Amino acid sequence: MSSKSAVITTCIHKGTQADALVDTRCDLYALIDHDLAYKLRLLVVDRSEQLLGSFSDAIGATKATGVVVFNLELCGYDEKIFAYTVRSLSNDLFLGKPWIERNRILYDTTTQRIRHRRGGIDLRLKGEEEPERVHQIRAARLLLGAPFATLYKRARKSTRETTGYEVRAISLADI
């Protein structure tokens, strides 16, 4: 996979968009940029620094500054991720070979599609628009409770009862 064709758009830590490189040559499960992890105040589970022998750049061995945990959302599929924090990564996040194998990722180079077979979804490459139905559900999920409460109160005043109203929830995974 070239880095151009394997960069996907993800959401981490309460909807923050991040670019993730799906890297078949990285022997680690996941890496995240140290500055991004600090900015998002991700939960640090290990602060010890260690050399990562299975991931190196042009300078030589790379030093991890710790391990963080966060939720990774890929088109409605959520997964808890433990990732090494590394300074000055070229992308926000690297997803390595163990992640690819665990989630049974299939990359079709002819159609430029990445299939997440564990979640049963197609992943969006960087720059692709989100499907309209996914966008509508994401927008509805971000609706505050105040507008709903106002509509509920109006309906209760006009009908003098609330038995005809239901609260329903839908997630991107339900599509």
Alpha-carbon distances, residue 174 vs 139, 169, 170 (angstroms) = 15, 10, 6
Rounded CA-CA distance 67/122 in Å is 28
Reported confidence tier of residue 102, pLDDT bands at 50, 70, 90? very high
Instruction: Count the domains in the chain.
Output: 1
Question: For position 23, which CATH number holds?
Answer: 2.40.70.10
Rounded CA-CA distance 48/71 in Å is 22
Rounded average pLDDT over 27-39: 93
- Tell me whether residue 169 is in a domain: no
pTM of the predicted protein model: 0.66
Rounded average pLDDT over 29-54: 90
Domain region containing 114? 7-123
> 164 in helix, strand or coil?
coil
Mind listing the pLDDT tens digit for each residue in 51-96? Answer: 887 554 545 678 899 999 999 988 777 899 999 999 988 889 999 9
Q: What is the DSSP letter of 161?
A: -
- Tell me whether residue 145 is in a domain: no
In DSSP terms, 9 is beta-bridged to: 19
